[in-house]
Amino acid sequence: MPTLLIATANAHKVEEIRAKLRGLGAQDIELLDLGAYAAYTPPEENGLTFADNARIKAVAAAAMSGHIALADDSGLMVEALGGAPGIHSARYAGQGHDDAANNAKLLAELAGTPLKRRQAAFHCSIAIAHPQGEPLTAAGRVEGHILEQPRGCGGFGYDPLFYVTELNRGMAELSMEEKNRVSHRARALEAALPLLLRLLNYKNMV
């Protein structure tokens, strides 16, 4: 059975990635995450783009573990804020702050901004690294706008504030199955799947 290390300790991301890979037919891959490596210290994410940071994380995790590693770097880009929070999405309100603080800062920054100027997009870059090879990357994106107040009780991060244009619903109002059809991470995983299966020499796709 091939083994893949999902290079994150974020339980929400692990759940989404596991579900999406299995939904795409990759049933018989042993999936690990960084929870299995308590002593591991993640590298500094000092890239200039989502793809840069995904590569940094994937390469470090593959070298540490000896397994093929998949890392994602994703975030929210708001047009009225010049693309912010962008690669700083997870730390928008400062180091150590949580999703609620990041959402509160976003709403404060957009206070008084009309709906037509609240366009936004979620972007995800995925990198897959072999311990002895160059990382491969893929990306996905979903368009929408920022709500004036949270909506829905699902998802995580900025999901409660993100309205998905193509579905006319908030991201946090979607079930896991619905989100895994349209989200930026789901689309990036779909684009990355052929690269991943090739590296894993995986033959049993259904």
The residues annotated as belonging to the active site are: 73
Q: How far apart are CA 85 and CA 102, in angstroms?
A: 9
Identify residue 53 by its one-letter amino acid code. N
Q: Roughly what angle, to the nearest 10 degrees, separates helices 11-23 and 184-200?
A: 70
**Beta-strand pair 68-78/119-129:** antiparallel
The two structure tokens encoding residue 170: 């908030």
Q: Which residues pair with 173 in a beta bridge?
A: none
Distance CA 50, CA 86 (A): 8
